[in-house]
C-alpha cells in the first residue's frame, strides 16, 4: 500500500514537472500579446489600429507597475481594437 502511494506521488510529480512548462506555453504573457497586437496592426493606419497599440503600451506599463489585472484588461481591449482595425481596412 505504502509502495503504491509512493509510486503515485512520484508519477504525479513527474507529470506536473512536464505539465507546468506546457501550461505556461499555452498562456502567452501580456508582453507577448502586446507584440502580437503590434505585429497585427503594424501596417494599418486607422483609428482602431492606433488605439490598439496605445492599449498595448498601457498594458505593458501596468505590468511594470505590477498591476496584472489592469494589464490583462488593457491587453484584451488592445486585441479587440486590433480586430476592428483589420475589419476596417
Partner 1 sequence: MNKQLIALLSCTTLLGACATHGINTDRSELDGARQAVSQARQAGAETCAPKLMAKAQAELYWAAHELTEGVHPDENAMHIAHAEKFAMQAKDKADKECHKPVEVIALTGVNFKTNSAELTPASTAILDAAVATLNKRSNIRVEIGAHTDSRGQETYNQQLSEKRAMSVGDYLVSHGINADRLAMHGYGEAKPIADNATAEGRAQNRRVELTVLN
Nearer to partner 1, 35 or 80 (CB): 80
Q: Cell numbers 489600429 correspond to what residue?
A: 49
3, three cell numbers: 509502495
Of 88, 20, 22, 23, nearest to 52 (Cα)?
88
Could you say whether residue 86 binds partner 1 (CB under 8 A)? no
Site for partner 1 in 45-74 (CB under 8 A): 45-47, 49-51, 53-55, 58, 67, 70, 73-74
How far apart are CB 10 and partner 1 at their closest, in Å?
Answer: 33
The Cα-based distances of 22 to 5, 34, 49 in angstroms read 26, 21, 32
Could you say whether residue 82 binds partner 1 (CB under 8 A)? no
Of 59, 56, 75, 79, nearest to 67 (Cα)?
59
Q: Which of 76, 83, 84, 86 binds partner 1 (CB under 8 A)?
A: 76
Site for partner 1 in 14-43 (CB under 8 A): none
What value does the CA radius of gyration of the chain take, rounded to a whole number of Å? 20
Residues that bind partner 1 (CB under 8 A): 45-47, 49-51, 53-55, 58, 67, 70, 73-74, 76-77
Amino acid at each position: 500500500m505504502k509502495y503504491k502511494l509512493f509510486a503515485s506521488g512520484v508519477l504525479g510529480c513527474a507529470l506536473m514537472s512536464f505539465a507546468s512548462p506546457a501550461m505556461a506555453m499555452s498562456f502567452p504573457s501580456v508582453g507577448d500579446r502586446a507584440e502580437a497586437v503590434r505585429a497585427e496592426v503594424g501596417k494599418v493606419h486607422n483609428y482602431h489600429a492606433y488605439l490598439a497599440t496605445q492599449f498595448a503600451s498601457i498594458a505593458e506599463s501596468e505590468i511594470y507597475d505590477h498591476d496584472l489585472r489592469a494589464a490583462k484588461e488593457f491587453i484584451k481591449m488592445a486585441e479587440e481594437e486590433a480586430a476592428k482595425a483589420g475589419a476596417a481596412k
